[in-house]
Amino acid sequence: MTDPTEQAKALFFEGNALFEAGRLEDAAAQYQAALALVPGRPSILANLGVTQCRLRRWLDAVATLNQVTEADPTQRDAWVALGLSHEALSHWSEAAVALQHGIRLGANTGQLWLSLAMCRMRLQQPDEALQALDQAIAIEPTLAEAWSQRGSLMRDTGRFAEAARSYEQALANGGDETLNRFYLSSVQGGAAPAHPPALYVEALFDEYADDFQSHLVEQLNYQAHNTLLAPLRAGGQRFERVLDLGCGTGLCGRLIQAQAGAVDGVDLSSAMAAQTRASGAYRRVVHGDLLAFLRESTEPVDLVMAADVFIYVGALDAVFEAVRERLQPGACFAFSVELATDGSELKLLPSLRYAHSPAYIDRLAALNGFRVRQSWQAPLREDQQKPVMGLYVLLEPVASA
């Protein structure tokens, strides 16, 4: 009869060969078969955990690798895979601890220091994050993502000149051209891109979706939806067909629902769109670009609303034109913008939001056949516990001669 230990050893080596050949599912099966013969063997568990990590089975990997690190704390690759698995699960504290163990045991790569820095940033530990980013860059000076993240950390802490230098290094080392030029513009001032990169906005809100409403309303004291729609709700006007641009989690739709026949929404974030659908306040919710959404039909509407949305749109020329094409007589275009206070018509702020001036809004309204029914200034939300002022506007189409 074959010795179970020898059988397990053979299966282990077969698993290693399959792993090296990229056959990860088969490798995992061999490691599991080996463990059935010699349960709890750290070396086999370690390879299984690393394989599960590579297969993106994060929870399985964490369960396996915890056994390894408890049994043998010197297993460097196990600590690294454990850290990366926790990072993928947004377990930032656990990820940071595991990655530090892996680095101390010799996994001293720029990419791992970058992962550690990202965890520190998520944990609101800017000093530790900067140290980790500088370590990543010292080890791998051409690591563009480390330079880009360093720029973002400098931007968030108000060190704009350093942020600009970091973004320039990210670009010089092959970092994403569109994103890093956008980031660079936010800290340099001057002419800004007319629009933010769509992938930036989509990724931002896909990641933010689960906590969006609680964070916005409870922590940032967000009131834009209430403030914008208050005059319309008080007036009691009926809106048979409503479009909600950048609908988020459906806050506006729920507010106007009692006065609306059908509310259709659009959001660039698939995760946000899914939450809006679940609210039950909308007839239809589209995951896509708001301009394409406006242009997909010529059916007239009674109300187009966009609360705290144009901060992530930028130039509004095409939006005003497309909205005007959809509004029937007596309809309303209700929106808010963050106020530009330095004389600029349109400005990209270091927060990566766009601000617009009242003069810019007035000019676009006149060019596109709108008259201002009502406009007023009031806070949109808070930032660093200070109110962010917005301009709220209700426009209506001027009747054609």
Nearest-CA neighbor of 390 among 304, 319, 311?
Answer: 311
* Mean pLDDT, range 23-31, rounded to an integer: 96
At 209 the pLDDT is 57
- 133-158, pLDDT tens digit by residue? 999 999 999 999 999 999 999 999 99
CA atoms 68, 73, 78, 81: torsion sign: positive
The answer, yes or no, to whether residue 1 has pLDDT greater than 50, is no
Q: What DSSP character marks residue 357?
A: -
Nearest-CA neighbor of 155 among 131, 178, 126, 118?
Answer: 126
Q: What is the mean pLDDT of the chain?
A: 93
Q: Name the fold adopted by 201-397.
A: Rossmann fold (3.40.50)
Verdict on whether the full-model pTM lies above 0.75: yes
At 215 the pLDDT is 56
At 401 the pLDDT is 52
C-alpha distance from residue 339 to each of 14, 51, 216, 305, 356 (Å):
64, 51, 19, 18, 5
Question: From CA 65, how far away is CA 78, in angstroms rounded?
Answer: 6
- 336-372, pLDDT tens digit by residue? 999 998 888 999 999 999 999 999 999 999 999 999 9
- 184-224, pLDDT tens digit by residue? 999 997 778 999 998 888 888 777 656 655 556 556 678 89
Cβ-count burial of 223 within 10 angstroms (0-12 exposed, 13-18 middle, 19+ buried)?
Answer: buried
Question: From CA 207, how far away is CA 251, in angstroms rounded?
Answer: 18
Strands 301-306, 239-245: pairing kind = parallel
- 296-320, pLDDT tens digit by residue? 988 899 999 999 999 999 999 999 9
Task: Kindly indicate the confidence band of residue 90, based on its pLDDT and cuts at 50, 70 and 90.
Answer: very high
Q: What is the CA radius of gyration of the chain?
A: 26
Task: Kindly indicate the confidence band of residue 383, based on its pLDDT and cuts at 50, 70 and 90.
Answer: confident
Percent of the chain with pLDDT over 70: 96
- 264-301, pLDDT tens digit by residue? 999 988 888 888 898 888 999 999 999 999 999 888 99
Q: Residue type at 274?
A: A
At 213 the pLDDT is 57
Let me know if domain 4-188 sits in CATH 2.30.36.70.
no
Going from N- to C-terminal start, the domains of the chain cover 4-188, 201-397
The answer, yes or no, to whether residue 102 has pLDDT greater than 90, is yes
